[in-house]
Amino acid sequence: MNIDVQAAENEPHISKYSSPVQVSFVREVGDDLEQMISQLPGESLLDNRWTRLYEEKLGIQLQYDWIARGDVYGQKLGVSLAAGRIPDIVRVNPYQLRQLSNAGLIQDLSEVYQTYASPLTKSILEAEGSGPFDAATIDGKLMAIPETASSIESAQYLWIRTDWLEHLQLDRPETMEDVLEISKAFTERDPDGNGQRDTYGLALTNHLWDPVMGAVGLMAGYGAYPNIWIKDEDGRLVYGGIQPEVRKALQVLQTMYLEGQLDPDFSYKKGTNEARLIQNGNIGMLYGEQWTPFKIQSSRENDPKAEWQAFPILAESGKLAKVQLRTNTWQYFAVRKDYAHPEVIMKLMNLHLETNWGEHAQYETYYNDDSKAVWMLSPVTPFPGTKNLDAYRQIQEANRSGNLSVLQEEASAIQKRIEAYTEENVESGWGWKQTYGPSGALSIADGYERNGQLLYDQFTGGITETMVDRQIILNDLQLEAYLNIILGRPIEEFDLFVDNWLKLGGDQITAEVNAWLNTKTAMEH
């Protein structure tokens, strides 16, 4: 499957242009990226190892029409799209893709994909089936290239400060009831031993679906799956966010809030603000994806004894929790109608994947350099969906057999970091051990898969007609209703929200989603 770069110089998917080709993007930056660039001497967003590699290997010169931070980026992109002023290649969500396609501003990439995607790229982008491509296909034409991600990457874990468990002589949790008891104890029994009531049982942000410090993992403990489509007893698709199980989960969160187990100001705080409480040692538990350790490691700066451990998501006594997995492809690359080199997007993706995961990969130069996520310097960042689980399994197998020479580039780099921590106390290796170590998050993902606990989003059909106009309104309605209930509004407001959701387009979307299911089922038969 891997391609030898030298042997492939003549292949269309990785050949170099005879004279330089320029391509423009727009770019979002955040704290993480800016902080990393400040630690890379001689590199900037406009001139770095990736921009140089793309120019040297492919003859492609990258430019940015503009660069902006988070919220400003979203607003600026919205204005640009509405005005029809787009760069040569633009990363968009499914709604924006539909908008650009309807306005006739982008080109059909069906042939570009077939001709220019390398075998490695095709195997990675198509690994979870045709869903991402179906979602990018409008009127039978592939209007964008999906930057596919992996569903299993969105699996949630419960992260607990085990030094606090030990201090309070609490057992490790086995049920949802245990989790609630621990949260209460972490709030009321002074787990940090400083004589003050300044700790909270659970971290939460104002965006309840955040991948770290969100509420999705806790809700799954009550059989509630707030933002995926699931099947009911009759095999019809229903939206998880309006099911009665959500009501119970919201009531539990409301009790936790009213009892002071959540930061009283969480509903105003984004992840970066709530993370300060973790850094300052005020938080004992949170739900988060497998990369959570790199977010919570800051707690060890102020308190080197702070120790965290990943646990599986737990359900009520006597039940096995299902772990909701989002359809994780949410970004697409569209190409401006008049741009003369639409194949550039495929060439960039091919080289990105080849350089990091091909036969002659240089993972520690171009993907993760001394725990710095240098892959973020590239405007396109595709990756193999199961790469983290694959690396974990390789590392465990190599440790069992005692033969570390079998480790491929990424797994080898991770193993070195874990060893640096376990053998030489190099602190930067702590997060890697918590994710990839024998009892790290990925050992739990392995268990989720073996126990049949993974619950995939049952709708992979892209954006329906009514979603184009209504989905963002419905999403806002849902988040606002959930937050209000957690903050103390009567639980009956959930029933009111469900009625409104159905009336404001949810009924129509449910019909469209089931029409898609019926067509898909008929085609499979």
* Domain range enclosing 138: 21-150+330-377
Position 276 in a domain: yes
Domain membership of residue 346 (yes or no) is: yes
The reply to whether 444 and 476 lie within a common domain is no
| Element holding 309 (H helix, E strand) | strand 308-311
Whether 411 and 495 share a structural domain: no
Task: Indicate if 218 and 136 belong to the same structural domain.
Answer: no
Q: What is the pLDDT of residues 151-172, one digit of tens each?
A: 888 899 999 999 999 999 999 9
Rounded Cα distance, 159 and 310, in Å: 5
Distance from C-alpha of 439 to C-alpha of 428, rounded to nearest angstrom: 18
The answer to whether residues 159 and 255 belong to one domain is yes
From the list 124, 116, 109, the residue with the least C-alpha distance to 60 is: 116
The answer to the question of residue 15 being in a domain is no
Same domain, 230 and 314: yes
Residues 493 and 350 in one domain: no
In this structure, are residues 307 and 163 in contact, taking their beta carbons and an 8 Å threshold?
Answer: yes
A 10 A CB-CB count for 32 gives: 12
- pLDDT tier, 9 (very low <50, low <70, confident <90, very high otherwise): very low
- pLDDT tens-digit series, residues 260-288: 999 999 999 999 899 999 999 999 999 99
Assess contact for 25 and 88: CB atoms under 8 A. Answer: yes
In a domain, 399, yes or no: yes
Q: What is the reported pLDDT for 219?
A: 98
pLDDT for the residue numbered 6: 37
Residue 3: the pLDDT is: 36
Mean pLDDT of 422-450: 95
| Residue at 267 is within a domain | yes
CB atoms inside a 10 Å sphere around CB 521: 10
Tell me, rounded to whole angstroms, the distance of Cα 369 from its chain centroid.
Answer: 21
Flag whether 130 is in a domain. yes
Q: Tell the burial category of 46 from Cβ atoms under 10 Å away from its Cβ (0-12, 13-18, 19+).
A: exposed
Asked whether residue 207 falls in the same domain as residue 175, the answer is yes
Nearest Cα to Cα of residue 282 among 382, 347, 198: 198
* Residues 424 and 486 occupy one common structural domain: no
Domain at 284, CATH number = 3.40.190.10
Q: For the stretch 140-152, what's the b/e string if a residue is b when 16 or more beta carbons lie within 10 angstroms of its beta carbon?
A: eebbbbbbbbbbb
Cα dihedral across residues 499, 504, 508, 509: positive or negative: negative
Average pLDDT over residues 138-149: 91
Share of the chain above pLDDT 70, in %: 98
What is the average per-residue pLDDT within 361-379? Answer: 93
More confident residue, 107 or 128: 107
Task: Give the N- to C-terminal CA distance of the chain in Å, as an integer.
Answer: 31
Indicate the burial class of 336 (C-beta count within 10 angstroms; 0-12, 13-18, 19 or more): buried
List helix spans (H) across 149-260. Answer: 162-167, 176-188, 216-220, 244-258
Do 172 and 312 have their domain in common? yes
Alpha-carbon span 18 to 20, nearest angstrom = 7
β partners of residue 90 = 334
Give 462's pLDDT tier (boundaries 50, 70, 90): confident
Same structural domain, 319 and 258: yes
pLDDT, residue 2, reads: 40
How sure is the predictor about 328, in pLDDT bands with cuts at 50, 70 and 90? low
Predicted pLDDT of residue 452: 94
Mean local confidence (pLDDT), 237-244: 98
State residue 10's pLDDT score. 54
The C-alpha angle 410, 324, 384, rounded to 5 degrees, equals: 25
Asked whether 355 and 53 are in contact (CB, 8 A), the reply is yes
* 483-487: Cβ within 8 A, 24+ apart: 483/206, 483/208, 483/267, 485/250, 485/251, 485/253, 485/254, 486/250, 486/253, 486/254, 486/257, 486/262, 486/267, 487/254, 487/257, 487/267
pLDDT computed for residue 429 by the predictor: 95
Instruction: Report the alpha-carbon distance of residue 457 to residue 240 in Å, rounded.
Output: 10
By residue count, the chain amounts to: 525
**Both tokens of residue 497?**
């929200």
Q: Which residue, 202, 207, 196, is CA-closest to 271?
A: 207
> Which is nearest to 120 in space by CA: 318, 328, 353, 463?
353
Do residues 428 and 406 both lie within one domain? yes
Domain final position from 430, 456, 482: 456
**Backbone phi and psi for residue 326, each to the nearest 5 degrees, phi listed first:** -75, 155
pLDDT at 523: 84
Closest CA to 205 of 252, 254, 288, 268: 268
Give the Å distances, CA to CA, from 497 to 207, 247, 478. 18, 11, 7
| 288 part of a folded domain | yes
Q: Please, what is the average pLDDT of the chain?
A: 94
Examine the domain organization and report whether 85 and 178 are in the same domain. Answer: no
The structural domain count of the chain equals: 3
Residue 289, in any domain of the structure: yes
The label of the residue with tokens 């698709």 reads: 237
Residue 185: pLDDT over 90: yes
